[in-house]
Structure 1
């Protein structure tokens, strides 16, 4: 038995039938999108990903399942639609520059996953660390009195902490001090860990903590603590780099003392932000508050999201979101990173690149490159599926 595989031109009837089926299918997608619109669900395309944002309690388990199952259809529908005038779904497509950063309280982990983690949308959670002892004890004077003799490195300079705190307290908008960052709490201040318990609810199922995950150029102890770091700076100090977190990791910044202004840019605005190179997480723009538009003319098109984070508040900065900060007062904060199913693909790409670069010498780089990339990518794909199976929310 054999089949005749010769190609023939479809008849007019067949063409009409195919078109009719396609139109009917598109209508079904249109109806589903309309249903989402009536629920005030906002959708947008970010790269090749479908992103969404919805009012609390709107997306039922069934609707979320339908969105996952029909993701490719919705992506195709949105890509063919002109949000300005093509159809009634213009208000459905949320432009990043029109978003806001909400402040929310009493946020369940399930709602965090569905409304912020999976859609990769930043949020400020006002009561996530309400039980931390640090909120009532950590002040610049506290660190000066109890840890003044500790040595810290700030911008490649060594200080006794008491001397750096003096600079923090004297810092002004006109003469800001340097920024204490990259300071490992478990390594340098292990006794402070008791002050920042319980562990942040929204960081559960953090894959950075998996012993199966190897990350080059990362301190294994820091990785096992989700890169938990102490941040201290004075009024007027700015974080020195517009960036997104390395390996496309999510970031939680818990503000313990003082107020800090965050400026964020969605990943879709990357083309306006002058990354150092195509794979870099750092911008060439030295100061977004005093940018040279002659040198960086596209930056004029970038629209920031700004929010002031106050003591006791936690900001979630999703994977790939560019951000920087400015201190409004002397400030003490804690930062940690997080890896979940929502940023696993981007993380895997970054990690694969770094592993290949670290394992391949210049002499045989080209001959081993393809094999290494294939093996590493396959391993991470399998590891991602395994870790996803352990997370009931994915």
Structure 2
């Protein structure tokens, strides 16, 4: 028995409705294009970049309401409207890092924090005393006897500073990192005030959040750390910050070049494993393309950060640095609603791994993971209740 043929009129009517709907979406997308709004899909989510004066609250609301429609439209390999040229979609290689000043927190949240876009803010720490006092000589003269660990080796700070000042592109010194400012240089906290405006809703500082796997001092101060290195020194690892935390790096002295890769390029960056935030590539400036052939497809985004400037590196963005001069910087991490989901996944994984052993039954692990997830789900509701974002 043959199946009845669908009604031609009904079929045409459906096609007409689909085409009409697509034209409406295309029209809206074209209007965004005329406003120089760039859109792209990242990790299944809609991302955007636009001049601040172009995105009105009404337009932002429309983009939010029509998010799924826009994602479906951009996902099509050949959009139906012949006027569409693809120039609306921002490819990773076309994304640059803005340098901005006089940025309100609301503007920062809407343009960079929530869309997960890096930015350099040129005046965020303009009132810090450290800008006029912190130099390599300052640390050598005032804290020379302090002991610091650099790449597992212990130094008196004065001796390490000598290495920093002698560092060259050909013979770079090691990189002082993971140095807790509140613990080792408590009295210098006054030099880096006021607190960064753009981290004012940092959930890491909330007493409601307790991370047993983190150092309590670092947790209270949002992993506030000192970075010192010499000319030619490179950060040793291409990475994104642990637990998918956001990072603010405040450049106090000297200049450094940041190289960033969008999370959509992860497949080209050879993570150690599927859950790792570290790349296997030892030096992206001189990569072994026989060993890491996919890296040839990755497109870096480079930006030079100067004294007094602050770079925001969003959750999941791969990055590394190279010192152009002797350099002193302060870094801190940040947790908000914008990176909570990935943070909670990472934290749950680490807690489960630390609280179980191979002798545990899988059922116990599943129950533990469920309890942790339930706790974090309830916690995020409390944190979000006091966060305007």
TM range (shorter): over 0.9
CA separation in 2, counterparts of 1:221 and 1:142? 25
Other structure's SS at 2:251 match: strand
**Match in the other structure for 1:336:** 332
100, 103, 110: which is aligned to 2:106?
110
Tell me by how many angstroms 1:167 deviates.
Answer: 0.9
Structure 2 unaligned regions, length at least 5: none
Question: Secondary structure of 2:240's match?
Answer: coil
2:348, 2:369 within 8 Å by CA — same for their partners in 1?
yes
The structural deviation recorded for 1:94 is 0.3
Residue among 82, 86, 90 paired with 2:86:
90
Q: 1:365 to 1:208 in 2, by over 3 A?
A: farther
Counterpart of 1:285 (choices 251, 259, 281) is 281
Q: Distance in 2 between matches of 1:120 and 1:312?
A: 22
Which of 218, 235, 238 is equivalent to 1:239? 235
Alpha-carbon contact 1:37-1:89 (below 8 Å) kept? no
Query: Cα distance, 1:389 vs. partner?
Result: 2.6
Map of 1:45 onto structure 2: 41
Residue number among 257, 260, 268 corresponding to 1:261 in the alignment: 257
After the TM superposition, which of the residue ranges 282-291 and 14-23 deviates more from structure 2?
14-23
**1:310 maps onto 2:337 in alignment:** no
Q: 1:369 to 1:48 in 2, by over 3 A?
A: farther
Contact (CA 8 Å) 1:129, 1:254: kept in 2 or not?
A: yes
User: How far has the Cα of 1:33 moved from its partner?
Assistant: 1.6
Asked whether the equivalents of residues 226 and 338 of structure 1 are also in contact (C-alpha less than 8 Å), the reply is yes
1:78 to 74, 97, 113: 74
Q: Which one of 297, 301, 305 corresponds to residue 297 of structure 2? A: 301
1:19-30 paired onto structure 2 within 5 Å: 19-30=15-26
CA distance in structure 2 between the partners assigned to 1:59 and 1:126 by the alignment:
22
Shift of 1:179: 0.5
Q: CA deviation at 1:365?
A: 4.5
Runs of 5+ unmatched residues, structure 1: 1-7
The two structures, once aligned, show a CA RMSD in angstroms of 2.0
- Inter-partner Cα distance in structure 2 for 1:24 and 1:382: 43
| Matched residue SS, 1:288 | coil
**TM-score of the pair, normalised by structure 1:** 0.93
Please report how far the alpha carbon of residue 210 of structure 1 lies from its aligned counterpart in structure 2 after TM superposition: 1.4
TM-score, length of structure 2 as denominator length = 0.94
Matches within 5 A, 1:217-232: 217-232=213-228
- Asked if the contact 2:261/2:317 (under 8 Å) is kept, the reply is yes
Contact 1:83 1:89 in 2 (8 A): no
Distance of 1:213 and 1:242 partners within structure 2:
28
How many aligned residue pairs are there?
A: 386
